[in-house]
């Protein structure tokens, strides 16, 4: 493969303007000629497409020619690395990693088995427990303890969630929904919610972990947050230093009680989280890790060299076309 293949493709770019800019700034330091492209189902309506070096239309991830089209785009635009951003495309990309590798194209995604485990919250719980991390206690819905919490085992986007305080609130609809799993309710007045942005190398070893306290959430994404080193960062390093099949950027969700240092693992999303720009601003440059590993074949050591207590206050911005 020629030296041309240093371009990067960020798929389903949508509103991820800051992520695209982070990849552009970083790539430019190593390969000034290289470009960062994006894909979207509707490029005209994707803000991140306008800050990339070109946004290419693609069909739905579920359409049968998606992978063929993605491969053509990569070959046409000399792509060496593909970075996915949404849950729905992770499994299909993971299943096709070998096919792209043969063409000299890295898919910045974990292995298929790890992704399927993350998608099923029941298996995620078992995974956390195997790593010595507590998860919310399961509750038998026919012998309930209140308050309790119910959520779909395959859910994302914070929908179909139920906080059930008493027997009257446990309706037949909730009780008979086959997708719901029932568990102990973690009281948010006592526990703080954290998202941890982690980067795993090609050796499946943890290279960096940045816990972000979620101070304010809007539409399921962090709106105000703060990076926090104390207790949580060394804890993650100790318990999740190696994960089979895990590669690239993932984000985990945890609850932390600072009165008694109780930590509860909730879920893992094996992709860049929506709040990753905060970790980037704190010095956790995961785009650089990708470039060092995949393009320069360098080994990365674990580091906690990022800014503690960095506050992020997001606001709405616009692109006018």
User: CATH number, domain at 51?
Assistant: 3.40.50.20
34 within some domain: yes
Average pLDDT over residues 65-76: 98
Q: Residue 217: what pLDDT?
A: 77
- The mean pLDDT of the chain is 94
CA distance readout (Å), 12 to 21, 30, 41, 43, 88: 15, 25, 7, 9, 10
What's the pLDDT score for residue 124?
95
Looking at the predicted structure, is the pLDDT value of residue 90 above 90? yes
Are both 232 and 247 inside the same structural domain? yes
Q: Say yes or no: 121 and 263 in one domain.
A: yes
Q: Is residue 319 part of a domain?
A: no
Report residue 138 CA to chain centroid gap. 25
Pair (304, 258) in one structural domain: yes
Residues 6+ apart with CB under 8 A from 277: 18, 19, 22, 312
pLDDT at 4: 66
User: Looking at the domain assignment, is residue 275 inside a domain?
Assistant: yes
DSSP letters, 33-44, are: T--EEEEESSGG
Task: Show the tokens assigned to 60.
Answer: 């739905």
* pLDDT above 60 (res 1): no
Are 197 and 234 within one domain? Answer: yes
Q: Higher-confidence residue: 251 or 121?
A: 251
- pLDDT tier for residue 223 given thresholds of 50, 70 and 90: confident
pLDDT in tens, 256-301: 999 999 999 999 999 999 999 999 999 999 999 999 999 999 999 9
pTM for the model stands at 0.93
| C-alpha–C-alpha distance, residues 176 and 141, integer Å | 10
Q: Residue 2 — pLDDT band, cuts 50, 70, 90? A: very low
Structure tokens at 73: 């785009």
The CATH number assigned to the domain holding 287 equals: 3.30.470.20
- pLDDT (tens digit per residue) in 167-181: 999 999 999 999 999
pLDDT at 219: 72
Residue 205 has a pLDDT of: 98
Alpha-carbon gap, residue 96 to 66, rounded angstroms: 11
**Do 244 and 219 belong together in one domain?**
yes
Domain of 206 in residue numbering reads as 115-132+188-313
> Quick one: pLDDT at residue 154?
86
Domain count, the chain: 3
Q: Within this chain, do residues 43 and 155 fall inside the same structural domain, yes or no?
A: no
Q: How far apart are CA 223 and CA 204, in angstroms?
A: 30
130-167, pLDDT tens digit by residue? 999 999 999 999 999 999 999 998 876 668 899 999 99
CB 195 within 8 A of CB 253: yes
Please check whether residues 174 and 243 belong to one and the same domain: no
Q: Which single residue is written with the structure tokens 């959520």?
A: 151
- My answer on whether 127 and 269 are in the same domain is yes
Q: Which pLDDT score is estimated for 253?
A: 96
- Give the model confidence (pLDDT) of 53-65 as tens digits: 999 999 999 999 9
Tokens of 266: 């909730």
Residue 37 maps to a domain? yes
255 in the same domain as 154: no
pLDDT at 45 over 70: yes
Whether 171 is in a domain gets the answer yes
Q: Could you tell me if 174 and 150 are in contact, meaning their C-beta atoms sit under 8 angstroms apart? A: yes
52 and 192 belong to one structural domain: no
Whether 75 and 211 share a structural domain: no
What is the reported pLDDT for 161? 92
Residue at 1 is within a domain: no
Verify that 126 and 270 share a domain, yes or no. Answer: yes
Q: Which residue has the tokens 């929506």?
A: 274
């Amino acid at each position: 493969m020629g030296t041309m293949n240093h371009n990067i493709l960020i798929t389903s770019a949508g509103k991820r303007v800051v992520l695209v800019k982070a990849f552009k700034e970083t790539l430019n330091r190593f390969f000034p000629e290289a470009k960062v492209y994006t894909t979207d189902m509707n490029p005209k309506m994707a803000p991140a497409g306008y800050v990339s070096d070109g946004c290419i239309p693609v069909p739905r991830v579920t359409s049968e020619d998606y992978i063929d089209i993605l491969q053509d785009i990569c070959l046409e635009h000399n792509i060496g690395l593909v970075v996915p951003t949404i849950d729905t495309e992770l499994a299909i990309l993971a299943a096709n990693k070998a096919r792209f590798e043969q063409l000299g194209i890295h898919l910045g995604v974990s292995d298929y088995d790890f992704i399927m485990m993350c998608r099923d919250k029941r298996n995620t719980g078992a995974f956390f427990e195997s790593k010595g991390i507590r998860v919310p206690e399961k509750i038998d819905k026919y012998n309930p303890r209140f308050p309790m919490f119910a959520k779909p085992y395959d859910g994302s986007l914070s929908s179909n969630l139920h906080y059930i305080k008493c027997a009257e609130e446990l309706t037949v609809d909730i009780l008979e929904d086959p997708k719901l799993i029932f568990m102990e309710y973690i009281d948010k007045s006592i526990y703080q919610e954290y998202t941890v942005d982690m980067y795993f190398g090609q050796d499946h070893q943890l290279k960096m972990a940045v816990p972000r306290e979620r101070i304010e959430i809007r539409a399921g994404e962090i709106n105000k947050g703060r990076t926090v080193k104390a207790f949580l960062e060394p804890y993650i390093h100790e318990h999740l230093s190696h994960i089979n099949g895990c590669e690239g950027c993932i984000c985990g969700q945890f609850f932390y009680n600072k009165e008694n240092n109780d930590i509860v693992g909730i879920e893992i999303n094996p992709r860049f989280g929506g709040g990753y720009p905060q970790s980037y601003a704190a010095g956790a440059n995961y785009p650089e890790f990708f470039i060092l590993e995949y393009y320069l074949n360098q080994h990365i050591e674990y580091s906690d060299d990022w800014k503690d207590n960095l506050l992020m206050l997001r606001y709405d911005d616009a692109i006018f076309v």
